[in-house]
Copies of this chain bind each other. A is one copy, B any other.
Amino acid sequence: MKKPKVKIRTVAEAAGVSVTTVSLVLNNVASARVGADTRQRIHEAAERLGYVPNEVARQLRAQRTNTLGLLGDEVTTTPFAGRMVLGAQEAASKHGWLLMLLNTGLDPELERKEISALLQSRVDGVLYTTMYHRVVRVPDQLRTVPTVVLDAEDDSANLPSVVPDEEGGAYLATKELLDHGHRRIGFVNSNLDIPATSGRLAGYQKALRQADVPFDPRLVVSTHPVSREGYAAASELLSRRERPSALFCFNDRVAMGAYQAASALGLRIPADLSVVGFDDQEEISEGLLPGLTTVALPHYAMGAWAVDALIARILDPNAPVERAVLPCPLVRRESVAPPVS
């Protein structure tokens, strides 16, 4: 229970040298000239005493904390974003930086003060993130600290940001179905006003166009993108006289509803109906039978990219403002097969 706090001075005295010398040696300062024997003694003393430098003192002196703040609208902990946080965390760790969690609550007035106070000199930069891809207004208080927008785009467009390539992902999904021979491909889109809605529609259309399949607006239905609504939308689509042979679903939850709709209609997947989802929420995509072919959101990669970009900006404030759009890879499972001819 004793805590004789070994500080740098302790080591210095043990090695019979000055504090300066210890610091120089332990930090491997290139310009320092210290005899080999002295170095030896210092290292030994430090080792023996179990010396670890006080990081806070260091931070004060260096005017840098090597810490990033992950600031989000309750996001940070949404199950969805887990991998994004992980990507950020591991990237930070790779650079030797730490990640601090900050949730913006609901009271913006209160939050404003709190955040700027907490941020003050505790973090060198901020990852501003949202629960899902959208356009945000970054709080003014962040103007003073290097910031990167994660899984979102700021309206002013002068901050680095990283978002998923919604269009590219939808293109891949649709193309996967086309490549298997499908021509009547239903699309259960969302009815939310977010980039994913328009982006995925664009990707769907692009793939069709490229395959010379005429776009039929009647095959596209919009709905609130949850399982229950997906069930309803898919049921409607699949009950038509000329039913689609495949369904591209806005997300995995919708796809889950589609599975249930197909089951209710006696349609087997993928024999009678092919389905592709979006998001790759593993509880769903892996849990469904058969496994759901879907498009993965690059959460991990986005988190990592954002951290890299942020640290780059901290180190060099004049670094260019990049706005990344990361690819959404197709994850093949068992829900796609050629249509019955």
| A interface residues, Cβ below 8 angstroms from B | 52-57, 59-60, 65, 67, 70, 74, 76-83, 85-86, 89-90, 93, 98-103, 105, 114, 116-118, 120-122, 226-228, 231, 253, 256-257, 260, 263, 281-284, 286-289
How distant is A261 from chain B, measured CB to nearest CB, in Å? 9
The answer on a CB contact under 8 Å between B90 and A103 is yes
Residues on B with C-beta less than 8 A from A85 are: 76-77, 101
> Please, could you name 15 A-B residue pairs with CB atoms under 8 Å apart, sorted by A?
A52-B116, A52-B121, A54-B120, A55-B117, A56-B65, A56-B121, A78-B82, A79-B83, A81-B82, A85-B101, A89-B101, A227-B287, A227-B288, A260-B288, A260-B289
Q: How far is the CA of A100 from the CA of B105 in the complex (A)?
A: 18
The answer on a CB contact under 8 Å between B74 and A86 is yes
The answer on a CB contact under 8 Å between A122 and B253 is no
How distant is A269 from chain B, measured CB to nearest CB, in Å? 11
Residues on B with C-beta less than 8 A from A70 are: 101
The answer on a CB contact under 8 Å between A89 and B103 is yes
Across the interface, A103 reaches (CB within 8 A) one of B93, B105, B122, B287, namely: B93
Residues on B with C-beta less than 8 A from A53 are: 120
Residues on B with C-beta less than 8 A from A80 are: 79
Residues on B with C-beta less than 8 A from A288 are: 227, 256, 260
The answer on a CB contact under 8 Å between B82 and A79 is yes
The answer on a CB contact under 8 Å between A55 and B122 is yes
How distant is A8 from chain B, measured CB to nearest CB, in Å? 13
Residues on B with C-beta less than 8 A from A282 are: 79
Q: How far is the CA of A253 from the CA of B289 in the complex (A)?
A: 12
Q: How far is the CA of A226 from the CA of B288 in the complex (A)?
A: 10
Known: A99-B101, A103-B89. A57 touches B55 (CB 8 A): no
The answer on a CB contact under 8 Å between B103 and A98 is no
The 4 closest A-B pairs by CB, nearest first: A227-B287, A77-B86, A79-B79, A52-B120
The answer on a CB contact under 8 Å between B257 and A287 is yes
Q: How far is the CA of A105 from the CA of B65 in the complex (A)?
A: 22
How distant is A210 from chain B, measured CB to nearest CB, in Å? 33
Residues on B with C-beta less than 8 A from A98 are: 100-102, 118, 122
The answer on a CB contact under 8 Å between A89 and B65 is no
Known: A79-B80, A101-B101. A56 touches B59 (CB 8 A): yes
Residues on B with C-beta less than 8 A from A260 are: 288-289
Residues on B with C-beta less than 8 A from A90 are: 103, 105
Residues on B with C-beta less than 8 A from A227 are: 286-289
Residues on B with C-beta less than 8 A from A86 are: 74, 76-77, 103
